[in-house]
Structure 1
Amino acid sequence: MSDYEIYPLGDVELQSGHILPNAFLAYKTYGTLNASRSNAIVYPTWFAGLHTDNEWLIGPGKALDPDKYFIIVPNMLGNGLSSSPSNTPAPFDRANFPLVTIYDNVRLQHQLVTQKFGISKLALVVGWSLGALQTFQWGASYPEMVERIAPFGGTAKTRPHAQVVFESLIAALQADSNWEAGDYSCPPAAGLSAMGRAYAPWGFSQAYYLEQLYQTEGYPTLKSYLEDYWDNVFFSFDANDLIAMLRTGIHGDISATPADNGRLEQALQRITAPALVMPGSTDLFFPPQDNAYEASLMPNAVFQPIESKWGHCFGIGANDPDSLVIDNYLKQFLR
């Protein structure tokens, strides 16, 4: 039995103009919605993440305490649970799945929140990595609804360097002879392994590797870490699903909407909710200086870098002490 629910969306017109038939969001909730419907938090997933991967930040005594809040975790489109290449019928299955943007994700999450649950105010939207991008989008698209946002480990727009890295991950996967233009009969295992190796130097920092911090996660040598962890990290995902999510990231831009038409500064200025912007100090995907610029344009933003040696993956590792720092900042912010 699955531990999540499905919200049907019907035929959805995407930002690209394509119609995605019988679309749906997979989501899970934690806690109870109060009578005034004022204790809801939205916590989107990220690239290659499922709702279960968000649970490190949810629990009694934590900032996202289900005894206090009603926490909605919508799965990002393309992750294999919500509408994705792997679960969409022809003609939009597999490599034919249309581009889904951050704007599409958030617009459909808004539909879930307002129509399914009747919620008109959100106490907080919080997210990491591409979840942070969705968090920024919530603040820009629905400023009257969102009371606070807390993006961490992600920017409001994917910069060219990160776009190149995402493209390199796709290229590594598609180099597998079994790729067959996305119409593979068996998973392109070599390509999935290559994608993991290509991601490894970007997911963590130089200091993480120099100081052998992977040993705290049970890998005695760099060789064992690369082979036993990274060579297998994407095997639980469908290859087309991974590419769909990466393309969402490549096109990530909260200003790529009808309201802002590419004017990032304008979109940032419309995020009027109090914002806690937390980059990782050694993040190679989304460096702190990009967040510093974005926060400077947001009327009520606090720029709070997290000093960490864990690179982009700060806070989410099983043995990463930065998770406690993030949780404490969120507790203060919610007060």
Structure 2
Amino acid sequence: MSLPRPTLTRSVRTAAALGVVALVAAGCTSNTPEASNDTSSTAAPVGDNAKPGEKVTIGFSGPAADHGWLAAINNSAQAEAKKYTDVDFRVAEGTNDASLQISQIETFINDKVDAIVLLPTDGAALTEVATKATQAGIIVVNVDREFSSPFAARTTVLGDNYGMGVSAGTRACKVIADKKITNPVIAEIAGIDALPLTQDRSKGFAAALKACNQTVDNRVAAEFTVASGESVAANLLQAAPKIDVIWNHDDDQGVGVMAAFDNANRKEFAFIGGAGSANAMRWIKEGKMDATVIYPPTQAADGVRLARLLAQDKGMADLVQVAVPRRIVLDAPVVTKENVDKYLPLGFES
């Protein structure tokens, strides 16, 4: 999760910049022509990116809110835009139809918006229209599902699916070590297997387990829904009379997974979730779940913030580099009972 940097950092940088300005001013007392001009190479840029700037129009096209995490994506984007009086935010209807989303982007192009923040239904399918927007001089910020061409977006904001698996696997290794479990049985409840994001999560999980000489013993795949989570978890429990650790890729389908656990009265394992729902965090506080791994629903909010900076020709204040990076991958932190209170306000409702 991308969290705000301490304000002290900015204060120190501002003080340092003022010191540079003072030195330049002192140098300007010289009578030589060279000393009276050209301070651009020594003066550091100073400013507050949150202060209102030039009015910019940002179009947003996101997914249909048929899943808790997807609803949180849309809500976080709109909440972020409301923070800025210099942003005219135009929201297209959420959709899972690539053709409809293409027409939405065409409308934004015709309206000559300054920037578009886009979580594509299908990255490949939206690449052509996103490239068209870029060629029209519109800043495109790609969120979560990447386009198939580097020319389609100015910058891309991503969650870390492979890193999510690594975080879950690392937590599983810690549970095994802390409990001194010998010959542990590890299970995995994946999402839709055909999706690259599911494949990446599984690869990361396997890699982390390999680091502590473990492997997945039982693996099933659901469909990111409550009903599918309950069904496959029930089958898993019947097939495996003993389980020590279970990682479920998605906290929305985890509602069904937890129902299957309750129906079977199975509680002997450490249950690790994924995505960071409020349900999962409440279960952690209640002791019904060991941990969940964040897949940030703030990606679109970060996209809106970056689109505003780019449209106003600003950089990121906490970076030395002047320009906004072309690719930003957010962290996949593990939420446990030790830090759940910090993350609970950021949890999305399933």
TMscore range, shorter length:
0.3 to 0.5
Q: TM (normalized to structure 2)?
A: 0.31
Tell which has more relative contact order, 1 or 2 (C-alpha 8 A, sep 6+).
Answer: 2
- Greater radius of gyration (CA): 2
Identify the structure with the greater helix proportion: 2
Q: TM (normalized to structure 1)?
A: 0.32
